Chains A and B, each alone.
Chain A
């Protein structure tokens, strides 16, 4: 039977793989045949995720993508130990909600470090000769927040918009190396971040009701986002590059 999203033996690095969308994506990609290199700041979490993968030949590493000067050595190490990459999923992120007046420079910097600068530097490093195989796919986990405006989301939205802008430019630069790079923009997804949102506002709050009325297919499951990533990271998506794909239950157009 023809399998559109066949990832057999494709070596894919998933950063932010210890929880949420990153973890579910890693599990999904392994079920489609990929060999995973998992990485996260939560060392125990990423080891736990490793045990949930299908198949064998996977590996797990600690990485703090907020420490930008350590990313090069990290990429060199995982390539030396696992071989060149066929894919990168960047799912590390901080979900900050901070009013403008409280958005001190160090808070802006911290969020940008993980959400954007870490992504940018990781992409820069994996796109160097010898670290990837032709046909590599890169998917960054952005957010619908990049496409919309909301109170307290200036920092978070800016980091995600930066990711989206970057991939539009990088896509052209790496096209002749047969690399495709895109972002997915999930709407509110049932992750720990959503649980924090519910804790903060309450499930029966006006804020949550307003959200679910606009996002009319409901709250996304991590599997919904993982499925979109699996397609974009697969050879089947070879003609898609430089885009931001909303995975949003209707939110963006509502």
Chain B
């Protein structure tokens, strides 16, 4: 899966318009990145990538790129 495809998945679960996110997008600048978005991310990572995210890991995310690295 390419980074662009992974970004598209994030845009889909956060209901963002296509092209809203890029690898260097700062998550704190994304209004929609709230507690529900984080829960959606937890489900996506578990379902599609077999990664179980914890609160500490999520707190460490600064940019979209930090998430992409775990979408192996």
Q: Do A and B come from one complex?
A: yes
**For B44, what are the chain A residues with a Cβ–Cβ distance below 8 Å?**
102
B4 → A minimal CB distance (Å): 22
Q: Secondary structure at chain B's binding surface: helix, strand, loop or mixed?
A: helix
User: In the complex where A98-B43, A102-B43, A152-B36 touch, is A202 in contact with B13 (Cβ < 8 A)?
Assistant: no
In contact, B40 and A99 (Cβ under 8 angstroms): yes
Contact present for A99 and B15 (CB under 8 Å) = no
Contact A199–B54 (Cβ < 8 Å): yes
Q: Are B36 and A200 in contact (CB under 8 A)?
A: no
Using a CB-CB cutoff of 8 Å, which residues 143-176 of chain A contact chain B? 151-152
A152 to B13, CA, bound (A): 14
Query: A199 and B36 in contact (CB under 8 A), knowing A99-B43, A101-B13, A102-B43?
Result: no
Q: Size class of A's contact patch?
A: 10 to 19
> Does residue A97 face the partner (Cβ distance < 8 Å to B)?
yes
What 1/0 flags go to A188-225 for Cβ under 8 Å of B?
00000000001111100001000000000000000000
Contacts of A107 in B (CB 8 A): 43
Is B51 at the interface (CB under 8 A from chain A)?
no
Pick the contact of A101 from B15, B54, B55, B58 — CB < 8 Å?
B15
Residues of A within 8 A of B27 (CB): none
Is the Cβ of A102 less than 8 Å from the Cβ of B13? Answer: yes
Q: Could you give, for residues 42-65 of chain B, a 1 whenever the CB lies within 8 Å of some chain A CB and a 0 otherwise?
A: 111000000000111011000000
In the complex, what's the smallest C-beta–C-beta distance from B36 to chain A, in angstroms?
5
Task: Determine the distance from Cα of A175 to Cα of B68 in the docked complex, in whole angstroms.
Answer: 57
CB contact list, A99-141 vs B, under 8 A: 99, 101-102, 107
A140 to B39, CA, bound (A): 28
8 A Cβ contacts from A61-104 to B: 97-99, 101-102
Given A101-B13, A101-B15, A102-B44, A199–B39 Cβ distance below 8 Å? no
- Beta-carbon nearest neighbor of B53 in chain A: A200
- Closest B-chain residue to A201, C-beta based? B55
Contact present for B54 and A200 (CB under 8 Å): yes
Instruction: Check if A101 sits within 8 Å of B56, measured CB to CB.
Output: no
Among all A-B residue pairs, the 5 with the closest Cβ atoms: A102-B43, A200-B55, A199-B55, A199-B54, A99-B40
Sampled A-B contacts (8; CB under 8 Å): A99-B36, A102-B39, A107-B43, A199-B54, A199-B55, A200-B38, A201-B55, A202-B55
